[in-house]
Structure 1
Amino acid sequence: MSFQSRFGWIGQKIGMTNVMHDGKVCSVTLVKILTQHVLSKIEHNGVFTLRVGVELGKLKTKPQIIELQKINKPLCNLVKEFRVSKEEYDSIDGSYSLDRIADEKFLDVTARSIGKGFAGAMKRWNFKGAGASHGVSLTHRAIGSIGTREKSWPNKKMAGRLGNEQVTVQSIPVIEIDQELSIVALHGSVPGKSGAVILRKAIKKQGVIV
């Protein structure tokens, strides 16, 4: 079975700024690439996986601390797994950082979007709303009919919690890399507040979609 390498990095979103790129002002998001500690390497049925952790924040549970102490690894509170190629699997041992991101022109970025609490249907689903003409009384932002009283259909677009879910933006261009500060400048915005983000090789820019 053939598959693409989804080699990745765990980073920390710092914020946004503007830089000059190709003679134009470009808005970028700055992501600091942390030291990626390889906690374990897994091979199963020809699939190679790296279990990677970073030191970001506090550990959540005591079993995590005990496990990391047993394998003589730094106390990493954020752990992710990345599916990699055999060459990457064999060449990586111990830890890696920004050096392997230098050849990437595009990245897929995954993060948790900003939570906006309980929202009405218009805000949550971008509904147009009712008209404001004569006779439309107090129903300008109402959702309208939602079906019979016996049953409400699943996945109906209704009011509910907005945001605070995992979002992936694909093929974000890499504008600039600062090796000294270990920071990557990504074009445009990245989901979520300042915090942990997952960067992976862009799946659609490698020629095959899995």
Structure 2
Amino acid sequence: MEMNETSPHTRSGMLLRAAVTPLLCSAVEASTLLIVPKPSASVFQFRGRRRTLTPSPWLPPVAEKSHDDFLDDGNRALLRELVAAERSAAMSLATASSHEAEAKVADIEPTTRRVGLLVRKIGMLPQWTVDGERILCTLLEVCENHVVSTVSPDDWYRKSIVGKRKAFNRDGPMWKVTVGAVNGDPDKFTHVYRNQFARACVPVKKYLGSFLVSEEALPTVGTSLDVRHFTVGQYVTATGKSIDWGFQGGMHRWGMRGQPARNTTKSHRRIGSIGSVGDARVWPGKRMPGHMGYEWVTVSGLEVVRMNIDKQVIYIKGSVPGDVGTMLLLKDCIQKEKKIKKGPVPTWLPSLEKVEEESETKDDQQNVSRDNEILSPKLFNFSSPTIMFSDDDAKKTLGRDKTKAKIAKVKK
């Protein structure tokens, strides 16, 4: 049976819908008018961390997680040969670029900033001055340093948060120069990490470090950096991670005195009360037991007293942060009284070797060179005699024999 007219139930539903729809629309409009927009930014208190144990999230992965267990010995040997060939080709290109680049030994302006080196701490060794004073020196090895990339101040400011603070500072516009050290096995690194070295035509490096460099001292990409980038007698600044001591108590971490040794029960090395008076809470920054070390530390004003060119080793007077084997950033000291006055710009290159040989003079204040080593005139040269005797010393009368007892003389 076909129904042309609507039923009473359908008609009542339509009437109800027609009556409710305007009310709902007005309610929605009213609700939208009453909504208070939330602030676009929220302010949170952030106290910064002493150390960061995880890499930044925006950095590309470095270590290759895949393995080559599925390769047989023949394919693995073939890959090793290809890697060795690519490395030798990259080294030859870097050497050629270093020979073609221009450098000069000139006066360095106070506002000039040169590139630094990545060095490895290999130990400490005593040295002696011409006055017989014993000084303790740190040995730093320059490990296959190459310039990997250079970033202009404009690009650095536009693309980096750090660049917004450092690209245009009080010393003027600064370039970001990245230096790589210690040749690594390409199989252990991701292709994203290897691309930056392929663009620079240098071998893959295990360690990277960046320096602020002014435009007049900007090196070219792929340039090999030598230990003679620094000069004997100048002052440098070393930056690195301090020794990681792990979790330590208050006496070791902060040098606290501790509690009395006598009449004390289980509290000899405890720090004691930490906030029971006044606000009855622990204030932020309270010195307490915790993780000690593995923090960025900078030591400035270290004098270069000796160099070994064959081994690429620098002798630094004093100590630097970090344990043996730690990588450090070494650059020119910027203290007003200890700034470098004259040196190679932008860095030392093989073209300067002939210039140095021609300009050598026999001056008492000149650095002593022997067996591919450069020594400061302050250091004692062990190839020279230790004690010089004159004729007057030979004519001096000998004293009595102190191995025999004294015998009183009989008066006559």
TM-score with structure 1 setting the length: 0.84
- 1:38 aligned onto 2:147: yes
Verify the 8 A CA contact 2:112 2:216 in the aligned structure 1.
no
Structure 1 pair 160–100 and aligned structure 2 pair: CA distance change class (3 A) = same
Describe the SS at the equivalent of 1:82.
strand
- Aligned 8 A contact 1:49 1:89 in 2: no
| 2:331 aligned with 1:200 | yes
Unaligned 5+ segments in structure 2 are 1-109, 155-172, 341-412
Higher helix share: 2
Q: Give the corresponding residue for 2:179.
A: 52
CA 164–56 in structure 1, closer or farther in 2 if over 3 Å, else same: farther
Distance 1:72 1:18 in 2: 40
Whole-angstrom distance in 2 between the partners of 1:161 and 1:54 = 29
Q: 2:287 aligns with which of 143, 157, 177?
A: 157
Alignment partner for residue 7 of structure 1, among 103, 115, 131? 115
Residue in structure 1 matching 2:125, options 17, 26, 46:
17
1:174 Cα deviation after fit? 1.1
Report the equivalent of 2:244.
Answer: 115
After TM superposition, the score normalised by the length of structure 2 is: 0.45
Deviations 1:13-36 (A, max 9, x none): 111111222332221111111232
Please tell me whether residue 144 in structure 1 is matched to residue 272 in structure 2. Answer: yes
Give 1:151 shift.
Answer: 4.1
Residue 13 to residue 66, structure 1, CA distance change in 2 (3 Å): same
Is 2:251–2:258's contact at 8 Å kept on the other side of the alignment? Answer: yes
Amino acid at match of 1:64: Y
User: In the alignment, which residue of structure 2 is the partner of 1:79?
Assistant: 208
Are the aligned partners of 1:107 and 1:174 in contact in 2 as well (CA < 8 Å)?
yes
**Partner of 2:309 in structure 1?**
179
- What SS is found at the alignment partner of 2:197? helix
Q: Percent identity?
A: 29
Report the AA paired with residue 225 of structure 2: Y
CA contact (8 A) 1:171 1:202 kept: yes
Q: Which has the higher contact order (CA 8 A, sep 6+)?
A: 1
State the alpha-carbon separation in 2 of the partners of residues 90 and 39 from structure 1. Answer: 10
1:91-136: CA deviations, max 9, x gaps? 77622211221266111111222111211111111001122344x3
Inter-partner Cα distance in structure 1 for 2:203 and 2:219: 22
Classify 1:174/1:88 alpha carbon distance in 2 versus 1 (closer, same or farther; 3 Å).
same
Q: How does 1:97-112 map to 2 (within 5 A)?
A: 97-102=226-231, 105-112=234-241
Instruction: Report the RMSD for the aligned CA atoms in angstroms.
Output: 2.6
Unaligned runs of 5+ residues in structure 1 are: none
Q: Could you tell me which residue of structure 2 aligns to residue 129 of structure 1?
A: 258
